[in-house]
């Protein structure tokens, strides 16, 4: 339903944030982040934008936690691997997001602000999207990934 609404009007922010929430509820981490970022491009100010930014930060940190000074755990949801060529397969991107979050947790923050570290993770997301895009197929790869490649 939300995908159809976006196809009909790719500039409708409400359809994007609704689809992002639906993807997050299904634990489709990269898809939720991708759609939330597109929403922020469309509606960069206001109460919904503030909530969307918080959702982005939450998505990027999800499934990654520090257990001790030397141990960081990454938890990933099992996916159906029966069809490796399925549309909108973002498993590689999901893994890269988790690794970027783990890297951030394990690094000395130095002079970098939280915003700079967030941007570093977004760049990683954009770079992996760009690398994987030629292999990707489906709604999210075709309609949304082009907005974020080359971040």
Chain segment 4-20, per-residue pLDDT in tens:
999 999 999 999 999 99
Predicted TM-score (pTM) of this structure: 0.90
Q: Per the structure block, which two tokens stand in for 149?
A: 């490649």
> CB–CB of 128/96 below 8 Å?
yes
Angle at which helix 29-42 crosses helix 47-61, to 10 degrees, equals 150
Top-confidence residue, 15 or 85: 15
User: What are the domain boundaries of the chain?
Assistant: 2-65+87-148
85 has a pLDDT exceeding 60: no
Whether the CB-CB separation of 92 and 145 falls below 8 Å is answered with: no
Give the model confidence (pLDDT) of 47-84 as tens digits.
999 999 999 999 999 999 999 888 999 998 776 565 55
140: DSSP letter: I
**Would you say residue 135 has pLDDT above 60?**
yes
Mean pLDDT over the full length of the chain = 91
What is residue 102's three-state secondary structure? helix
């Amino acid at each position: 339903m939300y995908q159809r609404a976006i196809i009909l009007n790719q500039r409708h922010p409400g359809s994007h944030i609704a689809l992002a929430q639906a993807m997050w509820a299904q634990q489709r981490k990269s898809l939720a982040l991708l759609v939330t970022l597109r929403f922020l491009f469309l509606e960069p100010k206001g109460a919904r934008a503030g909530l969307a930014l918080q959702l982005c930060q939450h998505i990027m940190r999800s499934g990654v936690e520090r257990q001790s000074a030397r141990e960081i755990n990454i938890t990933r949801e099992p996916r159906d691997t029966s069809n490796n060529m399925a549309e909108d397969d973002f498993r590689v991107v999901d893994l890269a997001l988790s690794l970027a979050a783990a890297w951030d947790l394990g690094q000395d923050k130095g002079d970098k602000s939280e915003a700079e570290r967030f941007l570093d993770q977004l760049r990683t997301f954009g770079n992996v999207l760009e690398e994987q895009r030629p292999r990707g197929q489906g709604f999210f790869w075709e309609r949304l990934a082009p907005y974020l490649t080359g971040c």
